[in-house]
Structure formats: structure tokens, C-alpha cells
Amino acid sequence: MQDNDKQYLQEQQYKTPDNYQTRLTLIDCADEKIDIWAWRARPFNFSNTKDILEIGCGPGHLWESAQKKLTATQRLVLTDFSNGMLEAARANLASFKLPCSVQFENVDMENLTYAAASFDAVIAQFVIYHASSPQQALNEIKRVLKPTGWTSIVTIPVCAFHDFLKLAHEIDNRIPPHSISALFSEEKADAMLPEFFTRIEKETCSIKVTCTEPTPILNYIRAYPTVQKLALPEEFYAEYEKRIKILFQKNGVLKSEFGMTSYMCYSS
Ligand SMILES: C[S@@+](CC[C@H](N)C(=O)[O-])C[C@H]1O[C@@H](n2cnc3c(N)ncnc32)[C@H](O)[C@@H]1O
């Protein structure tokens, strides 16, 4: 299947935050505990920044960590193409008590409904790989960003959790063995971003996981976009579980690796 079936992503995978939340729980098996939101918010500097746009905000978790960097002078616009995600973000941000004004808007990242040069910062984390055309998403980010502004982009490597996806691919070869980030993985971002920005600061964070029981892996596979989209019969999941259990019997634990790559991008 296509990695970027927009209708499926909007109407099923991201209709509510549930699938994303489930997938994130696999990171709880990390060998070294990490606050992924704090890591992603760490490079933000909002001094001289008034208008901030986040695209594909999801449930808005990032702002629990980033809120202490905001002041009353900023205006935050959180956007997503899923109303369910926007509702969750609205509820979460209400509990964070941000100091600045916040708007929630249903906007597609490939067709931003904002004037050129209208934002000082654009944040796009774990989202550009879902675009039908990452090039178009980057064109839009560049268009709405002021020339003095900055963009924070975070993506994942194409081999993220490869071990678990490969096993699914071996049972049904319509499931790609690579991560959903394939269209805008770390490797692709490295090649594309210099076409759009003159200065790029890159940081990577490798997350090694060790699972001691099958449940987090089985839940991850059930919630994974390229698996879930196929609406597979229960026989597929039973076979996956059987193979996972054999590997646990053989090895005691199962290991894999995830990763995050952060790019702070500037045009001046
Ligand atoms: C993997 S989640 C990431 C959410 C959030 N950025 C984070 O890092 O936690 C991807 C989000 O992007 C949204 N999304 C995917 N394609 C989109 C598009 N074309 N336009 C706007 N939002 C999109 C989804 O609805 C979902 O909320």
C-alpha cells in the first residue's frame, strides 16, 4: 500500500489519538528512559518570536514541555487535519495553562490557509512523512515563514522498529518492512532540507528498546498505519503473535531501535 493514503490517515488512523498513543507506548520499553517531548522542545527559543504555527499538532503533548518557554506576547496556532486530534489538543492544552493565546484550526499541511511570511516559527514534528508530497509541505512551510523565522522539523529513520515490521512483512508482503517515515525519513530530510533552508542544525537521538513480553509489540503492530489500513483478518495477528512468542522463547527478550532526528532550520 501507499505509505501516505491521506484519506485513511485522516478518517481512520488519526480520527482519534488512540492509535498514536498506542504506538508511543513501545517507547516506554526504552533501555534508557527519555522524555521525548522535552528532547524535541529543547532547541526552541521564542525570544523575538510572536506568531508560532504548529502543523500536525496531534494531541498537543509537545506543549507540556514547551509551555515554560512561552510568554504572554506569543500567539500559538495549532493545526491538524483531524478534528479528533484538535479536540484532544484543546483538552490537553487547557490543563497546561499556557500564558499566551492559542488557536486550534483544521488545516492540511500541504495547503496552509495562511498568508505568506505570517509566522516567526513553524513546528512540524513527526508529520511531514505523511504528506503526499513532502516537497509541497516544505514549500508551504517556507511560504508562511518570515525570512527571519525558524522551523523545527523532527522525523524518524526509515529503519525505525524495523525488526517488528519485518516480521509483519514476512507474513504479508503488502506490509512494507520499512517505517512510515519512508517519504521523509532522516535520510530523505538530509537530502531535501538544504534546498529550502540556508542553515540547518541537526541532532539525533537513538532509542534502543528491550521488550520483555509480547503485548507492546502486538499493540504497536495493530495500531501501525500500513498494517491497520489493510484490515487484515485475525489469522494474521494470530500468526504474528505465534512468531513473536517463538522469538521470546528463543531469546528471552526482543530488542529493536527507534530514533528521532531534529532539524532547526533557518533562512537567514
Ligand atoms: C504521528 S502524529 C504526530 C503528532 C504530533 N506532531 C507529535 O509529534 O506528537 C501525526 C499527526 O499529523 C497529522 N497529519 C497527518 N497528515 C496531515 C496533513 N496532511 N495535514 C495536517 N495534519 C496531518 C495527523 O492527524 C496526526 O495528528
Q: Is residue 69 part of a domain?
A: yes
Centre a 10 Å sphere on the Cβ of residue 2 and count the other Cβ atoms it contains. Answer: 11
- Dist CA 231 CA 226 (whole Å): 10
Q: Is residue 167 part of a domain?
A: no
Q: Is residue 225 part of a domain?
A: no
Distance (angstroms) between ligand 1 centre and the Cα of 131 equals: 9
Q: Is residue 31 part of a domain?
A: yes
For residue 110 and ligand 1, the question of a CB distance below 6 A is answered with: yes
Q: Which atom of ligand 1 is nearest to the CA of 40?
A: 8
| Total residue length of the chain | 268
Q: Are the beta carbons of 81 and 107 closer than 8 angstroms?
A: yes
Strand 199-211 versus strand 254-266 pairing type: antiparallel
- For the chain, the domain total comes to 1
Q: What phi, psi does 56 have (nearest 5°)?
A: 60, 55
- Dist CA 56 CA 58 (whole Å): 6
For residue 14 and ligand 1, the question of a CB distance below 6 A is answered with: yes
Q: Is residue 236 part of a domain?
A: no
Per-residue pLDDT of the chain (268 residues; tens, 9 = 90+): 456 899 999 999 999 999 999 999 999 999 999 999 999 999 999 999 999 999 999 999 999 999 999 999 999 999 999 999 999 999 999 999 899 999 999 999 999 999 999 999 999 999 999 999 999 999 999 999 999 999 999 999 999 999 999 999 999 999 999 999 999 999 999 999 999 999 999 999 999 999 999 999 999 999 999 999 999 999 999 999 999 999 999 999 999 999 999 999 998 8
Residue from 80, 93, 110 to probe ligand 1 pocket by mutation (most atoms less than 8 Å from CB):
80
DSSP H helical segments within the chain, as ranges? 6-8, 18-24, 36-41, 62-66, 83-96, 134-144, 162-171, 186-192, 215-223, 225-228, 234-251
Residue 57 structural domain: 6-158+178-206+260-266
For residue 41 and ligand 1, the question of a CB distance below 6 A is answered with: no
Distance (angstroms) between ligand 1 centre and the Cα of 183 equals: 15
Q: Which residues of 131-154 are buried (b: 16+ CB within 10 A; e: fewer)?
A: beebbebbebbbebbbeebbbbbb
- Residue 241 has which C-alpha cell? 503473535
List the one residue out of 250, 252, 244 whose CA is nearest residue 215.
244
Q: Is residue 152 part of a domain?
A: yes
Centre a 10 Å sphere on the Cβ of residue 176 and count the other Cβ atoms it contains. Answer: 18
Q: Is residue 98 part of a domain?
A: yes
Q: Is residue 226 part of a domain?
A: no
Distance (angstroms) between ligand 1 centre and the Cα of 25 equals: 17
Q: Output the domain CATH number for residue 56.
A: 3.40.50.150
